[in-house]
Structure 1
Amino acid sequence: WTPLLVAIQKGHEKVASVLLDRGADIEGAKKGGWTPLLIAAQYGNVELVRQLLDRGADIEAANSDGETALLVAAIDGTASVVELLLDRGAEYVNGFEPLHVSCILRDVPKTQKLLGNGANVDSRASGRFTPLTLAAAQPSNER
């Protein structure tokens, strides 16, 4: 782990900014190919993801399992990170389809439209995650 990766994992946005200002490697990865962007996406820190993208982080960088920031955010992160990555041009990869994203975002109208147009409910992102499993993994806003 580099100091930058630790700062990102712990959610220390200002520390990460200082480290990047002082030349920390924005693509410096830990074992398994986990770059700062992938870690920020995994931990659901939209501000760190934004900061890294603004500074030129490779949005399509993948870990050794072929998982990009978009897929990592969909599985472990938050909907706001998924939205930011899509807004910045992240590509669907590893079987990741629009239906997966609409389920993650809990966008019922979009999900209904996609299903009405024949979206494959059995498609698997990264060979493992169906739209239903991704929807079920998202935290509920209901109390």
Structure 2
Amino acid sequence: MPDLQLYWQAEALYKKLPKKFDLSSWAVLGELDNEGRTPLALAVQAGHHRVASVLLERKAMIDPVDKEGNTVLMLAASSPSRNALMIVELLLSLNADVQASNFEKLRAVDVAKAPKVRQLLRMQMDRLEVGQKLKSSQSLPALKD
């Protein structure tokens, strides 16, 4: 139930924000709670897609880590929220680091709760691996930087 409580807290905060609230200030976007989570991390963990989108539009950092080494993508993947897949898709579209691992050596794909989220993350990792192999290939020099 803590995740649901976190969701309702984020929802209540979102509703209290003035319509023209300026979230572009780094002080707001970079605030940390006791667990080292940013506002984006809290919104993602709560499954609050709208708040996460607004924070990302305002240039919230996409790959900060909390006190356990978890990235925002890992928090999204491990969320039991119905919105987890949408949030993971959003983060991947903004180039969140799918290969990052936390202090327990777990990646987002390893902590993903929903099968569709796990499948999406696995596909993204496979794409990156193929891209890296193509770039390092001797037979395809035109693909190198």
TM-score bracket for the superposition, by shorter chain length: 0.5 to 0.7
2:92 is paired with a residue of what secondary structure? Answer: helix
Residues 30 and 97 of structure 1: CA distance in aligned 2, closer, same or farther (over 3 Å): closer
TM-score normalised according to structure 2 size: 0.58
| Residues 29 and 60, structure 2, Cα contact 8 Å, conserved in 1 | yes
Find the counterpart in structure 1 of residue 89 from structure 2: 83
- Aligned-residue CA RMSD (Å): 3.6
CA offsets per residue over residues 33-83 of structure 1, 9 Å max, x none?
111010001011111111001101100111110111100010014111111
Is contact 2:74-2:107 (8 Å) kept?
A: yes
**Contact in 1 for aligned 2:78/2:111 (Cα 8 Å):** no
Gap regions ≥5 residues in structure 2: 1-5, 127-145
Counterparts of 1:26-105 in structure 2 under 5 Å?
Answer: 26-76=29-79, 77=81, 78-92=84-98, 93-94=100-101, 95-96=106-107, 103-105=115-117
Query: Percent same amino acid among aligned pairs?
Result: 26
- 2:16 aligns to what? 15
Higher helix share: 2
Q: CA deviation at 1:13?
A: 2.8
TM-score under structure 1 normalisation? 0.59
Residues matched between the structures, number: 107
Distance change in 2, residues 1:68/1:17 (3 Å):
farther
The structure whose Rg is larger is 2
Measured at CA, do residues 8 and 86 of structure 1 come closer, stay the same or move farther in structure 2, by a change above 3 Å? farther
Name the CA shift for 1:106/1:30 in 2 (closer, same or farther; >3 Å). closer
| C-alpha displacement of 1:7 | 9.6
- Return 5+ residue gaps in structure 1 as ranges: 1-5, 115-143
Match of 1:131 in 2: none
The AA in structure 1 aligned to 2:46 is Y
